[in-house]
Structure 1
Amino acid sequence: MTGRTAEAPRPRVGILVFDGVKLLDFVGPAEVFHEASQRCPGYELVAVSVDGHDVTSSMGVRIGVHHSVEEIDALDTLVVPGSERAVEVFTPPVLDAVRTLAARSDRVASICTAAFALASVGLLDGRKTTTHWKFAATLAAAFPRVRVESDAIFVKDGRLHSSAGVAAGIDLALALLEEDYGADVARSVAQLLLVYMKRSGSQSQFSASLKGPAPRSTLARSITDHIHADPTRDHSVQELARRVNVSPRHLTRLMREELDASPSEYVSAIRLDLVIGHLESGTTVSEAARATGYRSPVSLRRAFVSRYGITPSEYQRRFQTSRSAG
């Protein structure tokens, strides 16, 4: 649907809500679709419940509803949010609603544990999907015909989309926005929402900072927070050590003990996570180097090959090929 004009009707997005829905799973994607109207014709956004009555989220916040299921004739996109209490909240009436609305929708997206709902009504048989990592094994065991990609942020298989939940629901909504209105609009909306970058679906649920051990001391936590605040700055060991008033040797020893990485290794890992997103968004290697704090494309290439075993250009070609195939 990329390339819509102002004259074309706005895509209609329906979000199915129910008692016990996780509020951020609902609000995150909804805000992306709502904010899009500042950069493109936008969407007609409707909240749908089984009977048209308002619902109460898992944290007790009441959600106003526009329509009942029977009042919805067609949707461009159906979004089904998740819940920490998936077994309880995905009741037979809610599952019937998922089945009915999915049949009336061009595109279906699940957020977090809503993959259980899609799987329960047979939509995911023989399909790829994802969910939050802590529910992935349970989903795979309960539905052996579903191909669960437990580490992906979001997954597309035909008209079916799924995300790992919470913030990943925003990433998925931005990806759907990109399908409809293009990459420039999606990046612009991400900036409006103060999202640093639209992450790609293939990016791991575990960023570099989450794969390793967490900082234990206040000093190490101060350093990692400083790096994450702006990975593009000069984060030499000397600069970092001066910031916390310790010697470079002491800081290096501390980070190796707590984070299993030297300061430079930690900074490189965080920057390379950002590089992946830039490359998958279509920027050049030179642009990615400038945007992520590398002194030159050569230094980026050296770090990228060291970590991934291929050059940034080769990674980008492989990603574009796999995306086209999908």
Structure 2
Amino acid sequence: MRERSSGSIRSQSARRVVIVAFPEVQILDLAGPSSVFTTASRLVSPKQPGYHVEIAALRPGPVVTEGGVLLHATVSLERVRGPVDTLLVPGGEVTLRRDAEPALPPHLRRLAGHCRRVASVCSGSFLLARAGLLDGKRVTTHWLACDELQRQHPSCKVLGDQIFVRDGQIWTSAGVTSGIDLALAMVEEDLGREVARQVARLLVVYLRRPGGQSQFSVQMASQWASRAPIREVQEWLPEHLREDLSVETLARRAAMSPRNFARAFSAQVGVTPARYVERLRVEAARASLEATQQTVKEIATEVGFSTLETMHRVFKRALGVPPAEYRRRFAPRA
């Protein structure tokens, strides 16, 4: 097979994005960011530089992904020369093994010296760490792999509750679809918020979940009750946050005494009913602060806080900032 030159078809003005492929790569880690960059390129005017995406592997040609789908690498990593705007390393379960793809880290180390930014999606962070690129950096990865990344590479600081983390030249993102959030943030930085918004709209995704937010919702982060009465209450709660959600009310719904309900809920879910409800209300308030123009007082009423002062106190305890400051940091600018 004749290998294509790594820069032969790209526009001189386009930002060069090199995405690394390897056997058993998670295809969505690669396809999500690639779709963001190529969609952005179609939206910009001819006078604006877009992106040129290249798929690079140890050898050009077909690469079998984690799900068995074939993708095509157009160039070998060895042939990638000259400046690269963004080097992006996707993940896959295979990357968790210490002996996975030992030939990749030297290439990543070499290319990083010629890149404006280096990024990983999901467990691609393990490959960057083995290349020595995460030493002393604040990073993230899939929530299931955070402890393992920290154990294997104690010199980096793993932040387990982040969608993506940027530390200087290095960008790392959480699990799988968070690579889309990361790529949209890059597009926003390069081409402006309006282009990023249009890309998100065309791909039918949120503009982006800001990097300081949790990787998963309260219900994802909490364990589900093992028995039906408690589990059914958990399923019912998100749509009824404005109602009276005292232990007595929830216990009646579960057909249990308040004392037995509170004890069973804490044992099966891991937190008290009051704390669980509080977390759901904070999550709902946070979503409204990001996505609506409602006042903070209106949101407090909508999600069931008894007073604005209560929401302010709970919000600050849970997230470290009051509601108005959270909106300033994370809500889309008009």
TM range (shorter): 0.7 to 0.9
Cα distance, 1:264 vs structure 2: 6.6
Q: What are the Cα deviations for residues 162-218 of structure 1, in whole angstroms up to 9, with x where unaligned?
A: 011212111111111111122232233223222245111111223222232326678
What's the Cα RMSD here?
3.9
Give the AA of the match of 1:163: S
Maintained 8 Å contact 1:82/1:111? yes
Instruction: Give the Cα separation in 1 of the matches to 2:32 and 2:230.
Output: 31
- The answer to which structure, 1 or 2, has the higher relative contact order (CA under 8 A, 6+ apart) is 1
Q: What are the Cα deviations for residues 14-58 of structure 1, in whole angstroms up to 9, with x where unaligned?
A: 101011111111112112212223543542111111222221111
Q: Does 1:81 align with 2:84?
A: no
Out of 198, 217, 220, the residue aligned to residue 210 of structure 1 is 220
Q: Does 1:268 align with 2:268?
A: no
Out of 11, 14, 28, the residue aligned to residue 15 of structure 2 is 11
Q: Does 1:48 align with 2:56?
A: yes
Cα distance, 1:58–1:288 mapped onto 2, change above 3 Å: farther
> SS of 1:205's equivalent?
coil
Q: Could you say which residue in structure 2 is the equivalent of 1:155?
A: 165
Instruction: Give the Cα separation in 1 of the matches to 2:70 and 2:236.
Output: 37
Cα distance, 1:151–1:264 mapped onto 2, change above 3 Å: closer
Maintained 8 Å contact 1:20/1:89? no
Give the AA of the match of 2:178: A
Equivalent residues in 2 for 1:96-245, closer than 5 Å? 96-214=106-224, 236-237=242-243
**Residue segments in structure 2 that go unaligned for 5+ positions in a row:** 1-10, 245-249
Greater Cα radius of gyration, structure 1 or 2: 2
Cα distance, 1:157 vs structure 2: 0.6
Instruction: Give the Cα separation in 2 of the matches to 1:308 and 1:22.
Output: 37
- Identical amino acids, percent of aligned pairs: 33
**Residue segments in structure 1 that go unaligned for 5+ positions in a row:** 1-6, 239-246, 321-326
Q: Could you say which residue in structure 1 is the equivalent of 2:325?
A: 314
More moved, 63-72 vs 248-257: 248-257
Q: What are the Cα deviations for residues 210-242 of structure 1, in whole angstroms up to 9, with x where unaligned?
A: 232326678987887788xxx8x886449xxxx
More moved, 298-307 vs 46-55: 298-307
Instruction: Give the Cα separation in 2 of the matches to 1:185 and 1:219.
Output: 47
Q: Could you say which residue in structure 1 is the equivalent of 2:33?
A: 29
Q: TM-score scaled by structure 2?
A: 0.73
Instruction: Give the Cα separation in 2 of the matches to 1:270 and 1:191.
Output: 23
Give the AA of the match of 1:84: E
Maintained 8 Å contact 2:140/2:159? yes
Q: What are the Cα deviations for residues 238-287 of structure 1, in whole angstroms up to 9, with x where unaligned?
A: 9xxxxxxxx995269789947654797575233134246x29xxx87749
Q: How many residues align?
A: 297
Q: What are the Cα deviations for residues 124-151 of structure 1, in whole angstroms up to 9, with x where unaligned?
A: 1111111112222222222222122222
